[in-house]
Amino acid sequence: MPEGTQHQFQIRVRTVYDPAQSDPAQARFVFAYTINIRNDGKVPARLMARHWLITDGNGKVREVRGDGVVGEQPHLGPGEGFQYSSGAIIDTPVGSMQGSYLMLADNGDRFDAPIPPFTLAVPGKIN
């Protein structure tokens, strides 16, 4: 079986600017994001770790690595999904995030599920 159909995860992201936690005068812009992960492959897998690259509008990159997500290492069978919310703080009103999840399939395969780049932006800052 080709790996593309064996291990296939769909990742969708929704972001929201949090003005109550932000302080633009102090270059603090807080964003909440909700991620939906769905196993569209044929093999169950556990999300073991996360790797993020968080880039602000000045090109400053912060790398974040850690076990699981929000204290969990969800196990997703074919067709199953998992949703969680978290946040990021950057120094500019516009930035981006991208990364990957390290997955461990029940058959012993380790693979990365890429998280496509998404934008963090204060409303009205991007046309």
Assigned domain for 126 exists: no
Q: What is the pLDDT of residues 23-45, one digit of tens each?
A: 999 999 999 999 999 999 999 99
Assign residue 65 the CATH number of its domain: 2.60.40.1470
Q: Give the number of domains in the chain.
A: 1
pLDDT in tens, 87-116: 999 999 999 999 999 999 999 999 999 999
Helix, strand, coil percentages, rounded to 5, for the chain: 5, 60, 30
Structure tokens at 110: 């380790």
- Is the model's pLDDT at 127 over the cut of 70? no
Establish if 33 belongs to a structural domain. yes
Domain membership of residue 70 as a residue range:
3-121
**What pLDDT digit, counting tens, does each position of 15-24 carry?**
999 999 999 9
